[in-house]
Structure formats: C-alpha cells, structure tokens
Amino acid sequence: MPSRAHLPAMLTILGFVFAFLYVPISVLVALSFNEGGLPTAWTGFSVKWYGALAQNGDILSAALNTLIVAVASTLLATIVGTLLAIGVEIRRRKGKLLESLIFAPMIIPDIVLAIALLSFFSLLDVTMGLHTIVLSHVVFNLAFVCSVVRARLKTFDWSVVEASADLGAPVVTTFRRITLPLLMPAVIAGALLAFTLSVDEFIIAFFTSGAGRASITLPMQIFSMIRFGVTPEINALATLVIAVSVVALALSQRLNRGLVGA
Amino acid sequence: MTAAQTLLSIRSAVKRFGAVTAVDRVSLDIRENEFFALLGASGSGKTTLLRMLAGFETPDAGQILLDGRDIARVPPNKRPVNLMFQSYALFPHLTVRGNIAYGLEMEKRSKAEIDRRVEEILETIQLAPFATRKPDQLSGGQRQRVALARALVKRPRLLLLDEPLGALDKKLRGTMQLELKRLQHEVGITFILVTHDQEEALVMADRIAILKDGALLQCDTPHRVYEHPADRFAADFIGEMNFFPGEMTAEGLRGLSGQVIKADGNGGPRPASKALAAVRPERLHLDVRAGDNRLEGRVVAMAYHGLDLQLHVRTALSPEPLLVRITADAAERQPIKEGDDILLGWSPQDTRLFPA
C-alpha cells in the first residue's frame, strides 16, 4: 500500500495520463461542432458539419461499405468463433498448441497480416472487393470472439450439459437450449468487440479491397480526405465513429461484467 | 424384502483410464425397488461405476443389463435412467418449473401432461411456492430437492444419486436422509446412492456394496456389513474397529502379549498364519462375564459424547490405544477417570478374525 503522503503525487500523475489519453479526442469532438471550421478559432456551436457529412455521397457509400463489412464479418466470426471456442475447450487436454494457433492473429502485426492476405488472394487469383475485406476481417475477429467466449467457458459448469443429456436431450437440443443461452452474454460481448474492431480497421481493408472506389471503407475514405488537410467534416465523421465504438464497447463490457455475477 | 426381481445386473464391468483401473471386474445385481448404496473412499471407483450406469462412461469390458437388455453402449439421453448430480447441475437460466419440465419436454409429452406432472412433483417436494424462482434464489436444501424432482419426474427405471447430501449441513442431512428414504418408498423407484459416508449408507440403504481400488469388497445388508465385514478393509471402513495383530492357533488368535483371543462362529484364517482379531468399540464392556475375552488396560484419554463415553485404553495387545465406547449408564455405575487401570471384557461372538 502506498502511504497517504504519496496520494497528491499519484493523483497528479493520473491526471496527466488521462489528459494524454483524452485531450486529443476531446479537441476533435469539440472542433466538429465549431461553426467556423478552423482549428485555430472557436466561432460558435453548430451541427452544420454533420449536415455536410450527410450530403457527401462518397462518405455515405464508404459508411455503407463499412457497415456491410462489419456486420458480415462479425456474424461469420461470431458463429465460427463460438463453435471454435467450445471445440477447443472440450479438447483442451490435447495441448496448448491449438490455443496459440487460434490467438496468433491477435498478436501478429496488422501490416503483416495485410500483406499475407493480399498475397494469398493474389495467389488464388481472387477478384478483390468487399467480400475479401469481409474474409480478412473474419481472420482476426475470429480470434477475438474466440478469446471472449473462451474466458466465459473457463468457469462454465459442464455438468449442466451432462444433466441435459441425462434428461433425454440430444446433443443439438442441449446446445440450443442449455449451452448457447448460458454462453450468450459472452457471445454478444465478443460480437460487439468484433464489430468495433471491424468498423475502424484500416490497413487490412486497404490491402484487400482491390482497385477502384466501389469497396472503399470509412477509414480508407477518411485517409484519402485527410491528405488535403483535416476538414471539419472529418472531425464530425470521426466523432460519429467514436460514438459508435464507445457504445459497442460499453455494451460489450457490461455484458462481460453481467456474466461474472451470474 | 420379498424375492424381488433383478432390475439391474452389472457383469464383470471394467473401466480403465490410462494405466489406472478405475473399476475392476465389478459384478452386482440390484433388485426392483431397492435402495442400494455404493460406498467407498474417493478413488474407489464408485463414481466411475455410477457414470457408467448413467451412460457418461462406457465400460472397457463387461455388461450392464437393465431389464435384461445390455445398455453399456446406449447414450445417456436414451436410457430410462436418471442421475441426480452431486453439484445438482440445475439449469441457471431456467426457473424451478422450467428445470423440472425440461426432461418431460424431451419426451415430447403434451403440455397438459407436463403441467400436471410438474405440479404433482412440486407438491411432493413442497416447493410449489418457489416454482417461478431461478436456482440462485434458492437455498442449498431447496436446490437439492429441485434436482431430485427434475430426475424423479421422468419416472426412471433407476435413479442414481451422486453424493446427494454432500453439500448440506449436518442437521439438514439427517432430515434429508429420512426424507429420501420415505420418498423412495412413495415413488417405488429403484435408487442407487453413491456416497463416501458410511453412516449415510447404513441409514438409508437396503443393501450396501463396498468398493475399494475399483474392486467390490462386499455386498450385503447394512446389518451384515456392520456385524460381519468381509475383510479387514471393510471392517475398518464401516464404523469404528479395534484390531489386535497376532498369529492363528487352534484356540484363537495369539496376540502380541501371548494372550489368546477367542472367536466364535467364523472359520477364520488358517492356523499359524498372521491374522487380525477385531472388535467394535461398543462391544467392549466393563462388567466382564464368564467366557469373555478379558483384557487389562489403562485409560489414557476420555471424551464425553452425551449418549456414551469414549475411552482410549492402552493395553498389551495392540500398539495403538483401544477405542472403547461405554454407555452413559455403565459409566455411572462404575465411575472412571484418566489413569485408571480397568478390566475390559468382550464376547467371543463379537470377535471377528481376518487374514492380516
């Protein structure tokens, strides 16, 4: 235990750390409501940049693409990742190698994964587009969903699965009526995490989107706009992305906490 | 008990886990409507045997015949057998009613029948007011009854109970022992109880099978296993027992001091072999009668238990002090204090002889 005398010093450090983390974001959010649009002078509160955003066809189509990629990759990763987690848990006595292989995509740098996926799709001569982005996002989302569900499974009481079989339920019924409902908070938490990760993923999407504007996602759109300087529109867009991410993360954490108590 | 029919027949069942033989050629016949106990320490194979009956383990050899049909390879969901889990394994996301109805829903019973049978069993276990609660809103005793009801409502041919009272406190356990026994009579279903608690087995079971290291030591009524244990392990496991090491002679067992301990009524180990004589603590008494085995000793410790007085008596016949239980009445007639030299007697009829 640190002594009471250290408390003011610790609070100061804490303040600096939080300032370091959140001041840039706060500035960005504030500027998105700046009427004048200049980063140097506050000229009044306005939501006009959000309006401008809604008029920008490029941004809207990019946002739609991102939504498609995020929803599709989340769905796929959630289904496969949940089943994978259960399978690995049941077979866990076979060793740790399997587990490390599953979680590798969480650790491998995105740029490496991006290059690998690009080479892979080129090798197979796949025409790239939204579908390849979806598949690529499944690669890392799978690992995240799997790890969240695995964490829940560590404290899972398997005797309820045996009890279900004992009471006459076939395997599929047991999964549908017992295993899945009990894992559902973790499954949803994993899905929300996957969704968040997919929404703001840039490098892998950039490498696997193929040529042309058709499959540009939101982060790619922002990147291309930012080459001409930070516009107030980008601030507004970034603020919206933050809002979506924060809501998804908060939901995910809340569900994870909920299941510890259950 | 009348000559009831055999319901379950276990024939030379074997189960190995790697190099360990968890169940070693166990054969048992369990009768219709019997309350049967599998008794053993942890690692004795009793739980593995139970899991084979439930269908969660498949025997490596041998047969399990239920109503004459070999069910050794039938999956758990297709057996007319239900298990009450040690941890209860209630479904936490379902209500009490949902938990109990689950097994009937699996049988595709009509809604009306399910409702009727669930209500019936809720009355039987006196949990009707709690029907809409979730398991985490129940006490340990209530959860135990829900687990029991969930298995019973399916009216299985055989109900398996895995340490059903293990999680309850001592007082509640005593009540539930009698409760379970009453319920078993009421529903007329064969119960197989797995327990490490010999008292529980003695109180509840019609017959007890004692397992050690995967093998069956003895299978008999509580009275027989208590009074006539098959060997020294069974004698030691059930109740308390004093042992005197020695060697067999024509008259009995010659103990460490040279004194011969007489025993009636069993053939015993062959002459000149190493053997053990055994006597229960409550069979030793202070008013020595003619024909008794006699033994002098010094009281080294004593403990008052209300109903009886427990003495530790050092004698020349065994390296360990003897355990003696005398009734409160006997203690009043002959007051004893620590350090006293006393004379103990016991009948040759209460003496058992085992190969060492």
CB contact under 8 Å between A168 and B106, yes or no, is yes
Neighbouring C-beta atoms of residue A43, cutoff 10 Å: 10
Pick from B200, B154, B231, B186: nearest CA to B46:
B200
Stretches where chain A sits below pLDDT 70 are: 1-3, 92-95, 256-262
Query: In chain A, where do the E strands start and end?
Result: none
- Residue A261 is predicted with a pLDDT of 39
In chain B, residues with a C-beta closer than 8 Å to the C-beta of A180 are none
pLDDT score of B266 more than 70: no
Name every residue in B having a CB less than 8 A away from some CB of A: 54-56, 75-78, 81-83, 85, 87, 89-93, 102-103, 106-107, 136, 150-151, 154
Mean per-residue pLDDT, B84-104: 95
Return the domain boundaries, chain A: 60-261
User: What is the distance between the alpha carbons of residues A151 and A196, in angstroms, rounded to a whole number?
Assistant: 19
Pick from B195, B159, B176, B218: nearest CA to B35:
B159
The mean pLDDT of chain B is 91
Strand-pair category, B20-31 with B6-17 = antiparallel
Pick from B328, B337, B333: nearest CA to B282:
B328
Chain B residue at shortest CA distance from A159 = B89
Strand order in the sheet with B352-355: B260-261, B253-255, B242-248, B274-279, B352-355
Angle at B91 between CA B85 and CA B94, to 5 degrees: 145
In chain B, residues with a C-beta closer than 8 Å to the C-beta of A175 are none
Helix A218-226 vs helix A232-261: crossing angle, to nearest 10: 150
User: What is the distance between the alpha carbons of residues B75 and B73, in angstroms, rounded to a whole number?
Assistant: 6
Q: Find the CB nearest A165 among B76, B92, B107.
A: B76
User: What is the distance between the alpha carbons of residues A3 and A13, in angstroms, rounded to a whole number?
Assistant: 16
Q: Find the CB nearest A160 among B89, B136, B154.
A: B89
User: What is the distance between the alpha carbons of residues A19 and A7, in angstroms, rounded to a whole number?
Assistant: 18
* pLDDT tens column, B140-187: 889 999 999 999 999 999 999 999 887 778 888 888 888 888 889 888
Mean per-residue pLDDT, B102-106: 96
- Residue A3 is predicted with a pLDDT of 67
- Topology (CATH) of A60-261: MetI-like fold (1.10.3720)
- Residue A38 is predicted with a pLDDT of 78
Mean per-residue pLDDT, B233-239: 89
Neighbouring C-beta atoms of residue B142, cutoff 10 Å: 17
CB contact under 8 Å between B106 and A181, yes or no, is no
Most B-contacting residue of A167, A174, A259 (CB-CB within 10 A), to test interface: A167
User: What is the distance between the alpha carbons of residues B92 and A254, in angstroms, rounded to a whole number?
Assistant: 20
- Residue A262 is predicted with a pLDDT of 38
Strand order in the sheet with B308-315: B322-327, B308-315, B293-304, B341-346
pLDDT score of B211 more than 70: yes
Instruction: Provide the CB-side half-sphere exposure for B162 (13 A, CA).
Output: 23
Q: Find the CB nearest A163 among B78, B85, B136.
A: B85
Q: How far A150 CA lies from chain B's nearest CA (Å)? A: 19
pLDDT score of B1 more than 70: no
Q: What percent of chain B has pLDDT over 90?
A: 65
Neighbouring C-beta atoms of residue B37, cutoff 10 Å: 29
Q: Find the CB nearest A165 among B77, B87, B154.
A: B77
Q: Which domains can be identified in chain B, with CATH numbers?
A: 6-227 (3.40.50.300), 241-355 (2.40.50.100)
H or E stretch covering B50: helix B46-54
CB contact under 8 Å between A165 and B102, yes or no, is no
Mean per-residue pLDDT, B86-91: 93
- Residue A224 is predicted with a pLDDT of 87
In chain B, residues with a C-beta closer than 8 Å to the C-beta of A181 are 93
- Residue A102 is predicted with a pLDDT of 81
Identify which has the larger pLDDT, A228 or B237. Answer: B237
- Residue A248 is predicted with a pLDDT of 82
Count Cβ neighbours within 10 Å for each residue of B77-87 and write b for 16 or more, e otherwise: bebebbbbbbe
- Residue A46 is predicted with a pLDDT of 86
Chain B residue at shortest CA distance from A182 = B93
* pLDDT tens column, B297-317: 999 999 988 888 999 999 999
Tokens of A246: 């924060």
| Cβ within 8 Å of residue B61, ≥6 positions away | B12, B13, B14
CB contact under 8 Å between B106 and A162, yes or no, is no
- Residue B2 is predicted with a pLDDT of 46
SS3 for B310?
strand
Of A149-153, A246-250, B66-70, B265-269, the range with the lowest mean pLDDT is B265-269
CB contact under 8 Å between A167 and B75, yes or no, is no
